[in-house]
Structures are given as C-alpha cells and as structure tokens.
Structure 1
Amino acid sequence: MPILAVNATLEGALEGHEAVARALAHLPTTAPVVIMVHGFKYDPHSPLHSPHRHLFAAAPARSGGRVASWPAGLGVGEGGAEPLCIGFGWPGRGSAWRAWRQSAESARPLAGLISAIAAQGRRVHLLAHSMGARVCLQALAQAPAGSIDRVILMTGAAPRDEALTALASPAGQDAEIINVTSRENDLFDALVEALMGFRDVAIGSGLEVEDRRWLDLQIDAADTRRALGTLGYPIAKPETTVSHWSAYTRPGLLHLYRALLEDHRLAFGLLRAHLPTPEARWTRIGTAMVARLMPGRATGIVQ
C-alpha cells in the first residue's frame, strides 16, 4: 500500500487529497487508515524539511536520533492488511509563535480530509507528535461524528482545554485518545505553557479529570515499561534526561502504536488495569540533577 502525501497550504487549502479516494477504493476493509501529523520545524513545502522525506517516508532521507519511519513502524511494506498511511503536512516552520498559529489554522483542512474519508465509509486513526497534537485535537473538534477512531498523541504540544473541547465534540464522543507522555519532555511542556502565556496547562500533565476515552501513557516510568512488557509490548528505557522525540524513536514504541491501531487492538480497560498512575512532572529531571550534583544522595533514579 503506498504512503500518501496530503498537505495544508498557508491559505488553508488541501493539496494531494485526490489520491486518497482512489486508494480507499482498493483498501481491504480490515486495513486501518492512519493519518500521520508532524510537529514543529517541519514543512512539506520545504525540500530540506519536508516530513514526507523523513518521518513519513518508508526510508527516511536522513538518519539520526530525531528521525524514524512512522509508516515502517506501523507495518507498511509487510503485505496483508497493512495500513493506509496518509502523511498530513502543514507549515510548521518559522518561529514558535508562527507555528503555533499555523497549528490551529491547519486543523480545518485536516478536518476536511477526515470528513472526505468518512464519506467513503471509513473511520480514521490519527498519530501525531508535538504541535501536530494540537492540529489533531482541533480537527477532532471540527470533524463529523463517528469519523475518528483512535488518536495517539506523542509528547503533544497542546493545551488541556483544547483536549477537553475535542472530547466534548460530536467526533469526540466515541473516539479514544492515547496521550503519550514522558518526563523527558518536561522542559518542552513548560515552553508550550509559556507560548500560551501560562493561561493553561499542557497535556503532558494529563487531563486532570477521569474520562473513559482518554488514557495517559507515561513511557519513561519503569512501572509503565514493566506493565507493557507483561502485555507483550516491551519498550526500551530512556537514554537521556531530556528528549522531545523519544515517543517515536525509542525501540518498541512504534510497535505498540501499531497494536493500538489494529483491528484486534489493546482495549483501554486492559491497559488501565495494568498501567500505574503517572508520576508528577519534573520528578525525573529533579532526581537526575541531584544525582549529578550529589552522587551519594540520590537513589532510585527513574530508568
């Protein structure tokens, strides 16, 4: 199954969406439809920074600690009922403030793409990183009822109030959101809150209220890794104290996301029964700083 590229322009128009209808016509009914949404610093109209050449490519044009092929991790190229992966590009370069504005403006064309897919009788999954999570949450708030299945937000740069608005929308009524968090991302969560003028808390701190459709998955916690390993989905331990990209570069995570997006998927009830309560923000960075400054004083650093 090919990897499709659909882009939002600065003017809010869609490019490349015509190929989606043709691909859906030949897609097995058991194959998931996954829309992938990048974050800050990518722009599909920039040859050097296009997500279609990096994150969304089966074989990324560059390698490094911040790049991994999302489609390959989701099973593209393996045959059978592999997913239809649609890379959704939006103008995410420039200053953080410019990208923040564009993340909101790009939600409408994404919602339009989701609506067109729903009109062909297919629900979609969403997989997003960083500010791409904000694009997805705002698109969820605008999409038609029943059009979105599962949403995986990887260290998302989005405010809590927009998550609550998305859950209250028609499409949010039967969607399920996996909020992948890590204390490696605490500094980036703080930067997002500063970008918002500290008017709200980033979703890295969770939803604060219990909701059956929302699941926080703190991937740097040792208890979380043990629980996932028990379920058959081992993930590697964090290698750094600070990282904004480990939610998709850490070995084992894309395999877990693939399982979450397949038809025979991990149920939220099963996950909740095994997963621990997330640890408070800053606890990992604080402990690591103490360990570095006073090696004999710190014990039990989160692995």
Structure 2
Amino acid sequence: MPVLNLTVTETVTGLAGGETGFDRRLGRAAAAGGPTDPIVLLIHGFRYSPLRGPTNPHDSLYATAPGGRKRPRRQLSWPAALGFRDDPDDPGLCLPIGWDARGTFAEAFAQAEAVGMHLAQLIARLHARYPARPIKLMGHSLGGRVALAALGALPAPMVRQVILLAPADFDTHARAVLTRPGAQGAEILQISPPENWLFDRLLEQALRRDAGAGTALGRRPPRAENWIALSLADEAELANLAALGHAIGPRCAPVCHWGAYLRAGVMDLYSALLTDRGPRALRDLAPPPRSLP
C-alpha cells in the first residue's frame, strides 16, 4: 500500500516536511490502486508534532523504514505493523496525518477539534476525487478526538469506518457527532483496554469542567447500532475474536496508554479491517449476547 505522509494544521494540508507538489503526489499515489481500494488515514495523539523535530511522528510512528536511533516501544511504526509496505503494487492508499499536539493537554485537546474540522475538508476532497473508494480513519488517544471532530464536520456520509484506540474524548462529544450527517453510515470501533482506564480518569479530572458534563469514552461508550466498543478484557469477547482468526495477547503492562496498539495481535486485526480482509460488519466483532439461565 503506498504511504504518503501529510501534515494537517488548522488552515493547511500539505506533504510532510513542507515538500511541494501535494496534488501531484497525492494523485500519483492514489493512481497506483484500484477504483475501490481503501484510503486509510492514521492519526496520532498527544505530544507529537510534525512542526517540532524531536517529536515529529513522521520520523517515528509513521516511519516506513527504520531510522538510525533506537525508539521507545510505544513509537513502533504503524504502517509497518499494519503491513503497509509503501509498495505501489499493494492495494489501497495510506495517509499518515501529522498535527501539532504539543503544549498543555488542554491546549492539544482544543487543537484536536480544530484540526479535525480541517481534516474533514481533506476527506471531502478525497471523496470527491475517488467516490468509490472507502475512506477509513484510525486514531489513537487525542487522534480519536480528531477523527470524531472530522466525522462530525462532514456535510454528508463520506467515511466508511473509524477505529478509535483508547480515545481521549468524552461521551457527550461522541453522541453529538453520531447525530450529524457525516456519521451516518460510518462503522465505529472503539478499543478501550483496562490498562488505559487510569488515563480515562485523568482525562475526566483534567478537562471535565471545560468539556461539559461528560464521561470519558473509555468508561461510557455510546450505545448505537454503528458503534462497537471492545475492552479486550472480556473472555467471551476475546474468544469471539480468536474464532474470527484474531487471537489477542494479554495486556503489555498493568497501566499503559498504548496497549490498544501494542498488544500482540491487535494491529493484525486493525489491518484486516482497514483493508477489507476482516468481518464484513464490525458488529461481528462483538460476542453474541449471553443467554439468560
């Protein structure tokens, strides 16, 4: 799958590193795939910024080739872990999105909303140019808030699927997004493993007053037909995933904000979903309801 790294700000979308020729490069990368191949947007979370060298996600999370310096495990390459080899002969197109998520957490939380609004413009452009290609989003932490903000800003259904990894957002925002035109027809998968629950509590303590009377998504996901929430902690849930061919490993640490993409087997699951090799409907990922005795 060709990989084209992008930077999105409140006002501008362009190639990573400030390179020129955005439309030409995008057209060339998209032309390598078929008319119905997926377009996948990856969105990082807090403390990364393509505008500040040491925290540039394009040199860590989004790097398709190993660099010279050793990186923390949480900075594993998402494209590589998903099996996206930056090969023009592979179907699909991967667009890793870099945005400025530095500053205080409150500042990055507000910035995520603004960036999501601008990301919606990019999604609308992609949908207009490639209407038959399913557009899919995967965001971690505040990247999940960016994805939801983009979904809520779209004037019509344009996104097929959203995968939220330990999203740093509130149920009030998610429920509002679900009522908007852009969310209609989109399947949303939320992964909120127990090793992230401390961070859900910290989110509430840090921002609850500013965000309104809401609860962290990890503790209260919306109840909606198109929203599936998995904890990766329920035995029936894990057994159902294993039966579908996706055995998920145990938590990598008692407390870990990155477990939603570091656990063994999870990136293979996301890859199957993003490339249409997984279940036809996200609802198939949830275990069947337990029968009453």
Residue-by-residue CA offset, 1:10-60 (whole Å, 9 max, x unaligned): x53222252323322332234321000000010011111111111111235
Asked if the contact 1:38/1:128 (under 8 Å) is kept, the reply is yes
Identity of aligned residues (%): 35
Report the 3-state secondary structure (helix = DSSP H, G, I; strand = E; otherwise coil) of the residue aligned with 2:233: coil
1:147 aligns with 2:146: no
2:205 to 194, 197, 201: 194
1:162 aligns with 2:173: yes
Partner of residue 56, structure 1: 62
Unaligned runs of 5+ in 2: 16-21
Structure 1 residues 41 and 60, CA gap change in structure 2 (3 angstroms): farther
Structure 1 residues 82 and 250, CA gap change in structure 2 (3 angstroms): farther
Report the 3-state secondary structure (helix = DSSP H, G, I; strand = E; otherwise coil) of the residue aligned with 1:204: coil
- Which AA in structure 1 matches 2:225? R
1:21 aligns with 2:34: no
- RMSD, aligned α-carbons: 2.0
Partner of residue 258, structure 2: 245
Q: CA deviation at 1:245?
A: 0.3
2:101 to 81, 84, 92: 92
- Which AA in structure 2 matches 1:236? G
Which deviates further from its counterpart, 263-272 or 32-41? 263-272
- Which AA in structure 1 matches 2:278? R
Q: CA deviation at 1:253?
A: 0.5
1:69 aligns with 2:77: yes
Residue-by-residue CA offset, 1:171-190 (whole Å, 9 max, x unaligned): 21100000001111111111
1:217 to 230, 235, 246: 230
Report the 3-state secondary structure (helix = DSSP H, G, I; strand = E; otherwise coil) of the residue aligned with 2:203: helix
Structure 1 residues 160 and 135, CA gap change in structure 2 (3 angstroms): same
Report the 3-state secondary structure (helix = DSSP H, G, I; strand = E; otherwise coil) of the residue aligned with 2:34: coil
CA distance in 2, matches of 1:34, 1:143: 17
Report the 3-state secondary structure (helix = DSSP H, G, I; strand = E; otherwise coil) of the residue aligned with 1:31: coil
CA distance in 2, matches of 1:228, 1:265: 11
Q: CA deviation at 1:146?
A: 2.7
Residue-by-residue CA offset, 1:207-261 (whole Å, 9 max, x unaligned): 243x110000112344432221121101111131100001111121010001112
Asked if the contact 2:34/2:92 (under 8 Å) is kept, the reply is no
- Which AA in structure 1 matches 2:63? A
Q: What TM-score, normalized to structure 2?
A: 0.87
CA distance in 2, matches of 1:225, 1:262: 21
Q: CA deviation at 1:130?
A: 0.4
Structure 1 residues 201 and 60, CA gap change in structure 2 (3 angstroms): farther
Which deviates further from its counterpart, 222-231 or 34-43? 222-231
Structure 1 residues 93 and 168, CA gap change in structure 2 (3 angstroms): same
- Which AA in structure 1 matches 2:112? S
Residue-by-residue CA offset, 1:103-142 (whole Å, 9 max, x unaligned): 1111122101101100112331000000011111011001
Structure 1 residues 12 and 190, CA gap change in structure 2 (3 angstroms): farther
- Which AA in structure 1 matches 2:52? S
CA distance in 2, matches of 1:262, 1:76: 10
Partner of residue 4, structure 1: 4
Q: CA deviation at 1:88?
A: 0.8
- Which AA in structure 2 matches 1:106? V
1:130 to 135, 141, 146: 141
CA distance in 1, matches of 2:32, 2:74: 33
CA distance in 2, matches of 1:241, 1:254: 20
- Which AA in structure 2 matches 1:12? T
Q: What TM-score, normalized to structure 1?
A: 0.84
- Which AA in structure 1 matches 2:261? Y
CA distance in 2, matches of 1:35, 1:275: 32
Residue-by-residue CA offset, 1:158-177 (whole Å, 9 max, x unaligned): 11111112211112110000
Report the 3-state secondary structure (helix = DSSP H, G, I; strand = E; otherwise coil) of the residue aligned with 2:76: coil
Asked if the contact 2:143/2:167 (under 8 Å) is kept, the reply is yes
Asked if the contact 1:75/1:83 (under 8 Å) is kept, the reply is no
CA distance in 2, matches of 1:115, 1:57: 26
